[in-house]
Amino acid sequence: MSDINKVVLAYSGGLDTSVILQWLRDTYDCEVVTFTADLGQGEELEPARVKAEQMGVSEIYIDDLREEFVRDFVFPMFRANAVYEGEYLLGTSIARPLIAKRQIEIARETGADAVCHGATGKGNDQVRFELGYYGLEPGIQVIAPWREWDLNSRERLLAYAEERGISIEGKGDDGGVPYSMDANLLHISYEGGVLEDTWTPAEERMWLWSNSPQQAPERATEIDIDFECGDPVAIDGERLSPADLLSRLNRLAGDNGIGRIDIVENRYVGMKSRGCYETPGGTVLLRAHRAIESITLDRETAHLKDEIMPRYATVIYNGYWWSPERRAMQALIDETQRSVNGRVRLRLYKGNVEVVGRHSETDSLFDASIATFEDDAGAYDQKDAEGFIKLNALRLRVASKRSR
């Protein structure tokens, strides 16, 4: 029926991907390899292995990618201070290229002809996954069931599962949770349900990672974050691995009611979508990184970074992590981070992140002897400002004369 003999499926063990697994066999008469990624979503992944075994899968991959995710994807993105449309810290977007990368690696290891994802035909993830696949393996065959089948409702999925004896207990039974959720070490997202009405506020019970600011502790939490070449390496003097550092920031920030946003974003496929996101550690990290850059980056370098940041963020949001333009921008960004070394002190309190100190032993460009309001002992000659102002005002004066 087809030239597809083996498929690597991005598999969670839930209803959708369990149905997809059987549908691939029914439709393509092929062998299925399952791949489940641990990106720090906080779920027990062993049930996915059990479920795959129950369904007769012989090649099962469950990979702990937490350190790689934070070190090679989250941290490079945060060196750029990337924020999409002014608010979104790209928690879902940045996970997709890593999943795509590992799927392609497994396809090569197992001799698979194709890869398959469970993203719908309405969202951004289909684009992100497939741009990743093609960017890494140009000739790979891609199967996107939601664009092919007619199982376009939960009722039809359940009926298909029942007809083929697919167990749907445990993972995949949402217990009545009215949201579509996606989590990793950087964030957790919520879409659908009551959130499809942009006027309806999110319910407090929806949020899983953070206290509400109103219920956060009455006493502020102060922390120090150390940076080396633009990456955070320690909290309060304790060096931590990338994944452990982000996990600790998530706990500290979440306890203090930090990191919630409720936005309507512009999807790459053309529609607007409302999403709620919790990114507690990332919210703190962004503030801290900008603070250490404020004393270690030259003005024009900092401004150049800010100019390309929206483009960089859009490239990631739209799924072009493996593109030549992202790599080129990353090279520029990483070059600027050589001097971004030092410590930032922050105060976390009831949803707010306040920078209260920044220090760099070796790379600070802040010179108190020049900036002081006291006697600078001749470090700066204020008379120099007169010529500077007149030269910069020259075009304004000429234009003003002409308009009279």
Per-residue tens of pLDDT for the chain, all 404 residues: 468 999 999 999 888 999 999 999 999 999 999 999 999 998 889 899 999 999 999 999 999 999 999 999 999 999 999 999 999 999 999 999 999 999 999 999 999 999 999 999 999 999 999 999 999 999 999 999 999 999 988 889 999 999 999 987 644 444 455 788 999 999 999 999 999 999 999 999 999 999 999 999 999 999 999 999 999 999 999 999 999 999 999 999 999 999 999 999 999 999 999 999 999 999 999 999 999 999 999 999 999 999 999 999 999 999 999 999 999 999 999 999 999 999 999 999 999 999 999 999 999 999 999 999 999 899 999 999 999 999 999 999 999 999 88
Contact 166, 24 (CB under 8 A): no
Model pLDDT, residue 2: 67
CA distance 295 to 358: 8
Annotated catalytic residue, options 16, 38, 113, 231: 16
| C-alpha span between 65 and 250 (Å, rounded) | 18
CA dihedral of residues 76, 80, 85, 86 (deg, nearest 10): 120
Domain ranges of the chain: 6-176, 181-297+340-359
Token pair 């009455």 in the structure block, residue = 218
> Could you identify the residue written with the tokens 């003097």?
237
Residue 298: its pLDDT value, please?
97
pLDDT value at residue 180: 87
Nearest alpha-carbon partner for 149 in 26, 36, 33: 26
Q: Is residue 18 within 8 Å of 172, Cβ to Cβ?
A: yes
Number of alpha carbons in the 13 Å side-chain half-sphere of residue 203: 11
> Residue 126 contacts by C-beta under 8 Å, 6 or more apart in sequence?
117, 119, 120, 144, 146, 147
Domains 6-176 and 181-297+340-359 share a fold: no
| DSSP string for residues in 325-374 | HHHHHHHHHHHHGGG--EEEEEEEETTEEEEEEEE-TTT----HHHH-SS
Point out the catalytic residue in the list 113, 125, 226, 231: 125
CATH T-level topology, domain 181-297+340-359? Argininosuccinate synthetase, chain A, domain 2 (3.90.1260)
The pLDDT of residue 167: 83
Question: What is the model's pLDDT at position 176?
Answer: 52
- Give the separation between CA 74 and CA 67, rounded to whole angstroms: 10
Task: Please confirm, yes or no, whether 173 is among the known catalytic residues.
Answer: no
Q: Look at residues 298, 174, 162, 185 and name the one whose alpha carbon lies nearest to residue 243.
A: 185
Residue 180 falls in the annotated catalytic set: yes
pTM score, whole prediction = 0.94
| Catalytic, out of 49, 72, 164, 180 | 180
Tell me the C-alpha to C-alpha distance, in Å, between residue 357 and each of 225, 230, 346: 11, 17, 7
Active site includes 96? yes
Q: What pLDDT does residue 168 have?
A: 73
Give residue 73's pLDDT. Answer: 98
Domain 6-176 in this protein, CATH class: alpha beta
Q: Which of 15, 36, 198, 210 is nearest to 106 (CA)?
A: 36
- Cβ-contact 343, 224 below 8 angstroms: yes
Which residue out of 96, 260, 290, 358 is catalytically annotated?
96
